[in-house]
Structure 1
Amino acid sequence: MLPSQSWHNVGRRSLRGLTRTTQSTLQAACRRSNPGSRRPWTVPVRYASLQAGEDKTGHINAGPNEGILFFNNVFPIQVRKILGLPMPRILDKLVSPLMSGTDPKGVVERVSAKRNLQITGTEVLPRMREGGAFVKFTYDESTSASEVEKVLEQYLIDEPVKPWWSPWKSISAKVVKGRPWVEDLMRMPAPRLRVEFASGEAGAPVTDAVELSQEQLFQFFRPYGKLGDIVMQPPDSKILPKFAYLDYSSIGKAIMAKNCMHGYLVSEAEGGGKKGTILRLKYEQKIKPRYIRDWIVGHPRIIIPIVAALIAGTVAVVFDPIRTFFVKAHITRNFHIEDNKWYQWIKGYATEIIHGGKHDDDDSMDALWDDRKDNINQIQTWLMETADTFIIVQGPRGSGKRELVVDQALQDKKLKLVLDCKPIQEARGESATINAAALSVGYRPVFSWMNSISGMIDMAAQGATGVKTGFSETLDSQLSKIWNTTTSALRQIALDTRHKNDKDAHLGDDEWLEAHPERRPIVVIDNFLHKSQEGGIVYDKIAEWAARLTTTNVAHVIFLTNDVAFSKSLSKAMPDRMFRQISLSDCSPEVAKRFVITHLDADVEDDPPPKDGSCKKLPSEHRTDLGELDTCIDLLGGRLTDLEFLARRIKTGETPTKAVHEIIDQSASEILKMYIFGADDEGGNRQWNAEQAWMLIKELAQKESLRYNEVLLDDILKTGGESVLRALEQAELISIVSGANGRPSVIKPGKPVYHPAFKRLTEDKVLKSRLDYAIFTNLSKIENATIDKCENELLLLSKLRSQPAQTTGRVNYLLAKLMSSQSKVEKYELEMKELKKVLGKEY
């Protein structure tokens, strides 16, 4: 006898090409060689993976006295769902029927031997995707196919065959009644079958097919398993061919019904009509109701805000600790290589080699710090106290506020955060502002570009649902996130210095922070209220954040500002506190002179001595022109930036007098550009005009100071005079000094060097004539407007029928006012006539 092939060799040595003639010849030969055998020997069972049917026709044919059985649960369906992918050989062996005991050939042989049933398995066609197999069998004339089916079913009930991968479910078998369609399409089995009704006559139209009723379908398909439902095609449906849906309780029963009943011809006696009706079956993927998804899609007004909240919460959980870490690293400077002592040593050594060991110009600042030692000590003392209020250092630009606080008062303080408001305020657009704010505190990662994208999503969702989703965030909320994260980092830094062995370790965090003001970090807010006229949202948020830091004892806050009206902004954030304030003024003449001389000598002190053995002379010792410094400093004043500029010009070889005159000329040009000729630029955003600025320049050139209220009485400042003065103070053309009770009392030049610059401008006849002419023109317009008003009112009074005695006083008042204005106009006209002569002669 020929050895049978094994399952795992299916497809390797397939006998698919073996024809029926060859099979018959082999059978005859075997009978002749074994005439005494009790059972005729058959050709070895043909195990072939015919996923597309015999000869890839899609069908299995059966001859006379030949039938087809379908066995299910031979292969695991769930594993075979990935049949399209390469499977490991070991897995193929583990699920093979020989290994699992579900070999259909063996089942047929055992039934034939044990139940005395004359059947012989001739061919096995596995259906791995459906987890079953077709088995062709032959039987003698004394046995019918229905009898074979009954005996086989009873045998599988009496002796169930269960695979190892499904011990609770045995295999079952049924005789194939139709003409099974064996296909290898990418279709997965499903518990729902679609039954289409086709005509039994070849080429007949689909309309000739008879649509079976639910009772008939139940009769044909119920033997294959429990039916959940039978869904008929709607009567008014125009879809052809007609069809019905059969819902089985499990996928295995639907597989059995599909493979056994596909192609079955319903005869006229069974209700199939005269031509008969063919049943064509295919799997139908049942669309499961997705209640949750449908509810989500149908309620965007509820779901979108919830999704936004979940996203925001997830982002907060994931990114907030990372951002806090980076802010802490920015404040403590743990990852800044510049603070490493070895790096500083190498840098200092290299600097000495390259620059010859010369000191920086910062040595010249020692004279200034000696003069301001009291201010430095005062700031250091305040930082040791518990008072929860702001420390404010106010002074004009160039007065050395930042150097005083950061480089001197906080020189030994490691835990400090310097926040510069200037780049934040000057940033254009919300994304740039957020980036600048985040960069100033080390807040990263920051997704500022997401703000515009989320804004568009929010706008689209609002247009669709009618409500705000909350995806987008305003600049206010973004800045709040940055400051809140910074607050958390500052609090952690302060508490990191706390030890378990401290005497007050039993105190809570808040009590400990209040008891140890020296352990708190220091926040320095520089350039506060820089360009405050362009919008205050940034400054309001910073002030509110600083107030929280101070009142919760998280950090000390020091404001550095040029604006004299800082209290107005800070009082909104902290209305119930008195601020600690230091006002920096210009240096005294003695300190200014020492500053310049020290600046000149700084580069020469470390030079090697002369080769001839003579003593090294400093510039302050051998220069003969330094005696001019007293006069020059009187002109220049004590502004730190101006003094440094003077010292650098003297270093280049200029005499002090020439250097000062150059600075004065440069300041005069700056005044013309910024306050006179540029007064009407920038789209009219400035709150003063050229005539008002020139009037102050001309008056301050004659006097070093003006009375505040007297200036307001000038005709050119009649309307909006105080706002004009405040705007010019903000622009630093003038400075307003407050007297008793904090009221403004004196007006001075914005910088000391501006006073000689004002004089230089008034000495220019053409410029003075041109601007005076503009002032008189403006004043003439004002007086002419007054005359028009008086004339109109007099005209109105003259129209009265009888002149009441009560109008006499008003008429006299209007006439006197009209006469006064007319006198002024005539005076202005004479002045303008003289000025025209100057403008016509001079260049």
Structure 2
Amino acid sequence: MTPGRAQFWPAVRYGSRVSSSTPATCVLRHRLSATAAIDQRRRPVRRWESTSTSAGSVGSDKTGHIEAKPNEAILFVDNLFPLKLSSVLFWRPWETTELLRRFDSASMSFLDPISLVKRAIPESSPIKVTEILPRLKEGGAYVKFNYPATMSAAQIEDELVKSLDQNPIKPWFNPFRGIKTRLVLGRPWLEDLYRLPKTRLRIEFVPAKDSDPPPELSQESLYSLFRRYGKISDITSQPPDSKILPKFAYVDFVLVRDAIMARNCMHGFVLQEEGTKSATRLRLSFEHRVKPHHIWNWITSHPRIVIPIVAAFLAAFTVAVFDPIREFFVKIHVQKSLEFTNSKLYKWLKRQTSDILAFRKHKNDDAGLNALFKHRKDLIDSIENSLLESVNTFIVVHGPRGSGGRELVMEQVLQGRPDVLVLDCRPVVEGRGEAGTIKKLANQVGYRPVFSWTNNMSSMLDLAIQGTTGVKAGFSENLESQIVKILQTTASALKQVSLDGRKKSDKDANLTDDAYLEAHPERRPVVIIDNFLHKGDEKAIIYDKISDWAAALVQSNIAHVIFLTNDTSFSKPLSKSLPDRVFHQVTLGDLSPSVAKHFVISQLEPDKKESDEADDNLPTLTEKQRRQDLQELDECIEALGGRLTDLQVLARRLKVGQSPKKAVSDIIDQSAAEILRMFLLGGNNNNNNKGAAGEGDKKWSTEQAWYLIKELAARETLRYNEVLLSNTFASSTTPGANSAEAAIESLANAELITVKSVHGRPATIRAGKPVYQAAFASLVEDAVVRARMDLALLSELAKIEAKNIDRAETELSVLAALPSQPYQAAERVNYLLAKLQASQQKIVAYEKEMEGLKKVLAEES
């Protein structure tokens, strides 16, 4: 091949010569010294002396490479197609003859890529185009041409480059960059893989033949080779300790078009640096550059710092966005702004239609409640006066279940009061799981939106992060923190409700918010905490937080707080919240016989409207029957007692035609069956005791319950300490019922009994409800029930005495094992023998009595 010359950028030229051993391969020997570079400026450099040839035909469909014959060379023309649209443009595979025909007959249309190729080659150029191979995804095309023997391919490249510099050709899709062309020095690879062009080139150094691995090119050599194709931003060599083969380096161009030109012109280029033994072939490919994300790398490498910061940011964002919304919903829940009955339209319609439509309660209901409230007028006045005081104290309304405490407070004390919040603890503590508890509490106070379901996901995320980083992220909140958050938001909303009516024109407008609330106790809303200490042992944390929250409301003068409870141990959690304050306690007892009789009679008063609309199947009492009922009523009420719920049941039975004695008898039988099921026949299964004691674990035994029932049937009142000293309570063999005081307290919470206190100490024990006294007597009179329960009680007493005998025998055996019997132990031995004898006599008596009871059970049905 005729030698040619070319000038590399920058002003460093390379000399080359044909290796005598490889006449068919283009091998260049580079001189990298400064002296060689200076000498190269003074003389022309031969670009190549021969081109690799192949006997086969050209085409990517056969060899995957483009081959050049003698006096043939290949140009790569860039910027013919848009790169961004290469994946959507359709380019059919034209035949070479068709492309050549289009090239010869192409017009000067700026939209035709073939015409752009023709315009890039001057008419004066002595070359003949023999093949055009478009590269759509790289935005260019390979152009193979023949040139005369009197010229070199390098001279033709120089002429084309100068022509395009002087007369730039800019395509329609890229008006800022003209078409460029360069001579293909290597052996291009025509591939149709989905490898899009990038600005980074990966240059692998592979042996030209099957020989030893070639040396790695220096950055100076790579710069001299590739700078002529465009601006280079960086050259990265392979780390010295890397064992990856083949050796490689990265060349980063500024523009992707320059990287495309370099890759298509230099792929497969073979060279041999001066001082090396083997030739090196350059294998080029596009490489996706991983951009340095310093901020993200720092974030991912410091999870112990970043995760708590993210958690704090999310918490702050939640507070800033959702807390005002939640306060708004709590506020309208307290003020009942969205209820239709409180709207002006409803009130106007009610005033206009009051003469036409009469919406009222039945007269008998009103009369009965009026009788009850008249009896408790002093309690109502006491609570109303407490709501007008500025003293920071709780109001505790305590009474047995069914004593009418809720009706007293809601329908008399707070009747017509605008701002009232009722927090019922029963649904809260009965919620399933933490999510259910949170949701129920939020519903009670109007706290929304609430995302209780996210707590489980946050807990799983916390667990995963803690397992990987060793640090708890804090995304999830425990039940205690979420309850506190809901209550704090509610407190903020209640304070806004208290200050809503304040105006700048008021006389005390200059007062602070706290001073204003202290001076105007009538402006504070009322918070009613109903069913306080319901299942107190199961959800003690809930009641502790509610007590602390209520104490904060009272001390900050935000709201009045009224507790409604039937648990006798309410003072324990409340004393923790306000240890230095006195509770305003209101105790609701049973009605006196005269008031109870008046209440029942008021319930029996006929209502004209009701009698007109009554069902014909329901009997109507005549005046004669009514007089007979009134004659029996005194005796029946004395047996039934003054519990409000029992009196209401009696009144309903009387209204449907039952006689007072029959109604009371049915009520007593029903109570006896209830006691039998809940306390006597439930066994020692803990699940059977949930309905009775309201607890998951049983703290009393069936024998202890029967002992109290039997003794109270004989005597209406028992001394507290007397019960504690009895063998059934003091030495119970039932697991979980070893503590006598805990057993009595548990039975009192289950409402089987009532413990009365004197000067703060428990003194007497009575039946839980007045009707239970009659139910106890009914159970004792049942021979089968009494025999079965007495048999169980005697069996336990026998076990207790057997344990006493075992302890005495054990101590006697220890004394008998002494080597010599000291006279000092004689008194102890006699004591133990006497105790053993007494216990044995009791066991014999118990077994004799048990034989009679077994006979009763065998004969009775």
| Amino acid paired to 1:727 | S
Could you tell which deviates more after superposition, 132-141 or 628-637? 132-141
**1:373 pairs with one of 355, 377, 383:** 377
Q: Give the superposition deviation at 1:489.
A: 2.3
Match in the other structure for 2:677 = 673
Contact 1:102/1:161, CA 8 A, preserved across alignment = no
| Amino acid paired to 2:679 | Y
Match in the other structure for 2:745 = 726
- What secondary structure does 2:770 align onto? coil
Match in the other structure for 1:330 = 333
Contact 1:393/1:401, CA 8 A, preserved across alignment = yes
Please list, as runs of the form range in 1=range in 2, the aligned pairs for 1:161-176 lying within 5 A after superposition: 174-176=182-184
Please list, as runs of the form range in 1=range in 2, the aligned pairs for 1:543-692 lying within 5 A after superposition: 543-601=547-605, 603-604=607-608, 607=611, 624-682=628-686, 685-692=697-704
What are the Cα deviations for residues 283-325 of structure 1, in whole angstroms up to 9, with x where unaligned? 2112334454444444444444444444444444443333333
What are the Cα deviations for residues 709-768 of structure 1, in whole angstroms up to 9, with x where unaligned? 2332323222432222111111101101111x2111121110011111111112222322
Instruction: Pick closer, same or farther for the CA change 1:103–1:533 going to 2, 3 Å.
Output: closer
Q: Give the superposition deviation at 1:577.
A: 1.5
Please list, as runs of the form range in 1=range in 2, the aligned pairs for 1:38-57 lying within 5 A after superposition: none
**1:194 pairs with one of 190, 197, 202:** 202
Distance of 2:300 and 2:537 partners within structure 1: 48
Please list, as runs of the form range in 1=range in 2, the aligned pairs for 1:759-798 lying within 5 A after superposition: 759-797=777-815
Distance of 2:344 and 2:248 partners within structure 1: 87
**1:411 pairs with one of 409, 412, 415:** 415
Contact 2:75/2:184, CA 8 A, preserved across alignment = yes
Match in the other structure for 1:19 = none
- What secondary structure does 1:557 align onto? strand
Distance of 1:494 and 1:801 partners within structure 2: 85
- Between the two proteins, the alignment pairs up a number of residues equal to 764
Distance of 1:111 and 1:841 partners within structure 2: 127
Contact 2:122/2:163, CA 8 A, preserved across alignment = no
Match in the other structure for 1:221 = 226
Q: Give the superposition deviation at 1:378.
A: 1.8
Instruction: Pick closer, same or farther for the CA change 1:347–1:199 going to 2, 3 Å.
Output: farther
Contact 2:640/2:664, CA 8 A, preserved across alignment = yes
Distance of 1:402 and 1:99 partners within structure 2: 95
Distance of 2:633 and 2:839 partners within structure 1: 50
**1:693 pairs with one of 687, 702, 705:** 705
Contact 1:152/1:173, CA 8 A, preserved across alignment = yes
Match in the other structure for 2:466 = 462
Instruction: Pick closer, same or farther for the CA change 1:465–1:713 going to 2, 3 Å.
Output: same
Q: Give the superposition deviation at 1:526.
A: 0.7
| Amino acid paired to 1:748 | R
Are 1:257 and 2:265 counterparts?
no
Distance of 1:312 and 1:826 partners within structure 2: 72
Distance of 2:847 and 2:271 partners within structure 1: 124
Distance of 2:262 and 2:385 partners within structure 1: 94
| Amino acid paired to 2:791 | Y
- What secondary structure does 1:753 align onto? helix
Distance of 1:209 and 1:809 partners within structure 2: 108
Distance of 1:379 and 1:356 partners within structure 2: 27
Distance of 1:352 and 1:779 partners within structure 2: 72
Instruction: Pick closer, same or farther for the CA change 1:161–1:773 going to 2, 3 Å.
Output: same
Instruction: Pick closer, same or farther for the CA change 1:479–1:206 going to 2, 3 Å.
Output: farther
Q: Give the superposition deviation at 1:525.
A: 0.9
**1:737 pairs with one of 726, 733, 756:** 756
Q: Give the superposition deviation at 1:699.
A: 1.8
Distance of 2:817 and 2:192 partners within structure 1: 110
Distance of 1:497 and 1:57 partners within structure 2: 91
Q: TM-score, normalised by structure 1?
A: 0.77
Instruction: Pick closer, same or farther for the CA change 1:777–1:142 going to 2, 3 Å.
Output: closer
Distance of 1:378 and 1:620 partners within structure 2: 42
Distance of 2:574 and 2:547 partners within structure 1: 6
Distance of 1:267 and 1:818 partners within structure 2: 115
- What secondary structure does 1:253 align onto? helix
Instruction: Pick closer, same or farther for the CA change 1:270–1:359 going to 2, 3 Å.
Output: farther
| Amino acid paired to 1:245 | Y
Instruction: Pick closer, same or farther for the CA change 1:378–1:807 going to 2, 3 Å.
Output: same
Are 1:437 and 2:449 counterparts?
no
Distance of 2:441 and 2:458 partners within structure 1: 20
Match in the other structure for 2:479 = 475
Are 1:708 and 2:720 counterparts?
yes
- What secondary structure does 2:504 align onto? coil
Distance of 1:572 and 1:190 partners within structure 2: 72
What are the Cα deviations for residues 595-646 of structure 1, in whole angstroms up to 9, with x where unaligned? 2122222544665699xxxxx9997995542221111111111111101100
Contact 1:679/1:686, CA 8 A, preserved across alignment = no
Could you tell which deviates more after superposition, 137-146 or 712-721? 137-146
Instruction: Pick closer, same or farther for the CA change 1:180–1:787 going to 2, 3 Å.
Output: closer
Q: Give the superposition deviation at 1:809.
A: 4.8
Match in the other structure for 1:288 = 291
Structure 2: runs of 5 or more not aligned: 1-58, 91-107, 615-619, 690-696, 732-738
Distance of 1:285 and 1:313 partners within structure 2: 39
Match in the other structure for 2:44 = none
Match in the other structure for 1:750 = 768
What are the Cα deviations for residues 123-174 of structure 1, in whole angstroms up to 9, with x where unaligned? 9998786577778999998876545655666677789899999999887654
What are the Cα deviations for residues 553-584 of structure 1, in whole angstroms up to 9, with x where unaligned? 22221111001110012112222211111000
| Amino acid paired to 1:655 | S
Q: Among all aligned residue pairs of Structure 1 and Structure 2, give the percentage whose two residues are the same amino acid.
A: 51
Instruction: Pick closer, same or farther for the CA change 1:580–1:83 going to 2, 3 Å.
Output: farther
Contact 1:338/1:344, CA 8 A, preserved across alignment = yes
Instruction: Pick closer, same or farther for the CA change 1:620–1:330 going to 2, 3 Å.
Output: farther
Match in the other structure for 1:9 = none
Match in the other structure for 2:38 = none
Contact 2:383/2:413, CA 8 A, preserved across alignment = yes
Distance of 1:386 and 1:85 partners within structure 2: 80
Match in the other structure for 1:385 = 389
Contact 2:334/2:421, CA 8 A, preserved across alignment = yes
Instruction: Pick closer, same or farther for the CA change 1:663–1:829 going to 2, 3 Å.
Output: same
Distance of 1:803 and 1:518 partners within structure 2: 83
Instruction: Pick closer, same or farther for the CA change 1:782–1:706 going to 2, 3 Å.
Output: same
Match in the other structure for 2:51 = none
Task: Tell me how large the CA RMSD over aligned residues is.
Answer: 4.7
Match in the other structure for 2:323 = 320
Instruction: Pick closer, same or farther for the CA change 1:104–1:619 going to 2, 3 Å.
Output: farther
Distance of 1:527 and 1:586 partners within structure 2: 19
Q: Give the superposition deviation at 1:786.
A: 2.7
Instruction: Pick closer, same or farther for the CA change 1:620–1:252 going to 2, 3 Å.
Output: farther
Distance of 1:747 and 1:112 partners within structure 2: 121
| Amino acid paired to 1:772 | D
Instruction: Pick closer, same or farther for the CA change 1:225–1:570 going to 2, 3 Å.
Output: same
| Amino acid paired to 1:724 | A
| Amino acid paired to 1:782 | I
Q: TM-score, normalised by structure 2?
A: 0.76
Could you tell which deviates more after superposition, 689-698 or 679-688? 679-688
Distance of 2:119 and 2:678 partners within structure 1: 110
| Amino acid paired to 2:515 | E
